[in-house]
Amino acid sequence: MHGKKPDIDRVFHALGDPTRRAILEKLSEGPMSVSRLAEPLAVTLAAVVQHLQVLEESGLVQTEKLGRVRTCQIAPGGLSVAAQWIGDRRTLWERCLDRLGELLAEPDERRLDVPTGGRPKGE
Amino acid sequence: MHGKKPDIDRVFHALGDPTRRAILEKLSEGPMSVSRLAEPLAVTLAAVVQHLQVLEESGLVQTEKLGRVRTCQIAPGGLSVAAQWIGDRRTLWERCLDRLGELLAEPDERRLDVPTGGRPKGE
DNA sequence: TTATTTGTCAAGTGGATACTTAAGTATTTT
DNA sequence: AAAATACTTAAGTATCCACTTGACAAATAA
């Protein structure tokens, strides 16, 4: 209730980069090694590794190294954090829309005196 | 189908900044003027105006100026873009999990020779 | 062993960007 | 008209961040 959520920061920052989202898209096809991830990506392997660090610290991706190959996959809860934040804002906003709708839906009782033509300003 | 989605880029980039998310949170309480948005924000009015430009170009916020005051509100479709992208990745990933689940759920037919105790690699 | 694959680390660079200050515009108030 | 309000715009700055190069480490293949 009163707690901060520093995860949110990291998650949205991570999602803010197109290359990182591309990595997530690829990973949503299934687990994959670092070099296979890098293959279609127009950046060096080193860059991909750096992105993976960000993604892992944000909780969006899990990795495990076996032998010389590190296998990456999407982490269970990661995207939920972002999804929930967005969901919350949307419901709040829609509730706000509803209130507006209620007002506009009762022109009889409220006697909104909207002049038929000619607004104070604009267009 | 074959089109690029530059909206997604802008939306996620916009959401990547904490101050911009704070603005959206405030706006989810309802429409608000620029200066009222700036009030609790530990940055100057000018900075808020710049953030609002980003938010508006990304389609997350709508503004309208009447007289000398610009009123801002959350834009209808904006958050949906992000929500849908996240939703898509999640379903893809869950489908992938399902496949894995199917494999693990039928040890009889498939003859997966998983040794009863002891996975190939550590926990 | 030697070579290849696969990834890691460190340092540096260039460009993006969040922020500030300061000056300017338009609107409303007095 | 003069002053205050509510932004707007421009320019400068400092930091962050994505990316590269290059050297290095570890596991596998020849």
Tell whether B8 is within 8 A of chain A (Cβ): yes
CATH fold of the domain at A1-103: Arc Repressor Mutant, subunit A (1.10.10)
Would the CB atoms of A90 and B79 count as touching at under 8 Å? Answer: yes
CATH number for the domain whose boundaries are B1-106: 1.10.10.10
Would the CB atoms of B21 and A8 count as touching at under 8 Å? Answer: yes
Ramachandran category for residue A122: left, alpha or beta (phi over 0 → left; psi -120 to 50 → alpha)? left
A13, A82, A92: residue with CB nearest B86: A82
Q: What is the pLDDT of residues A9-65, one digit of tens each?
A: 999 999 999 999 999 999 999 999 999 999 999 999 999 999 999 999 999 999 999
Place of tokens 């269970």: A76
- Cβ–Cβ < 8 Å for A24, A74: yes
Q: Residue-wise pLDDT tens for chain B (123 aa)?
A: 544 556 899 999 999 999 999 999 999 999 999 999 999 999 999 999 999 999 999 999 999 999 999 999 999 888 999 999 999 998 877 766 666 665 555 554 444 434 333 333 333
From first CA to last CA, the distance across chain A in angstroms is 45
